[in-house]
A = this chain, B = another copy of it.
Amino acid sequence: MTTTTGGHAAVPTDLYLRVQHFYAHQMQHLDSGRFEEYAATFTEDGEFQHSPGARPARTRPGIVRELVAFHERFENDPVQRRHWFNHIALELREDGTVSSTAYALVVNVRPGGKPDITRSCVVHDILVDGPEGVRLRSRRVTHDEG
């Protein structure tokens, strides 16, 4: 079976579910500081731009370096960050890749504190569905606060 919405090309339901599960594991890797595992969810030549205006990190080692550098800024800040996703919308592209557009909220929690929702974003992904499963070819994140 496939999912169809309006004029969109049909997306296999199985693929939709696998993308959801892929994101669940991927973002738990990121929020737990497992940067190697996060980078491994990208293709070898994957590209990751976590903020508008930032230079995209490229390749798995490049993505790990970017994440390590980003998190060094919070070295003395015991923040637990959680990235929430919602409304994952897929579209098949003519080249066989899959575009995925999803809402994201960034939740920060510090010891003894309350959850603080610091950002509302839209995640723009290009996914490939290969023999080893779903992998991310590129991720670009836009911020709603402009």
Contacts and interface: CB of A to CB of B under 8 A. Distances in A.
Interface stretch (A18-26, A45-53, A54-62, A67-75): A18-26
Nearest to A143: B109
A127 to B, nearest CB: 13
A84 B111 contact: no
Give the oligomeric copy count: 3
B84 A103 contact: yes
Contact of A86 (B11, B85, B113, B115): B85
Looking at chain A's contact residues, the main secondary structure is mixed
A24 B88 contact: yes
A107 B84 CA distance: 13
Contact of A89 (B28, B40, B101): B28
A76 B146 CA distance: 16
Interface string A60-104: 000000000000000000101010111111100000000001110
A111 B124 CA distance: 20
A85 B20 CA distance: 13
B120 A109 contact: yes
A112 B18 contact: no
- Nearest 7 interchain pairs by C-beta: A109-B144, A24-B87, A111-B146, A5-B25, A3-B21, A115-B120, A24-B89
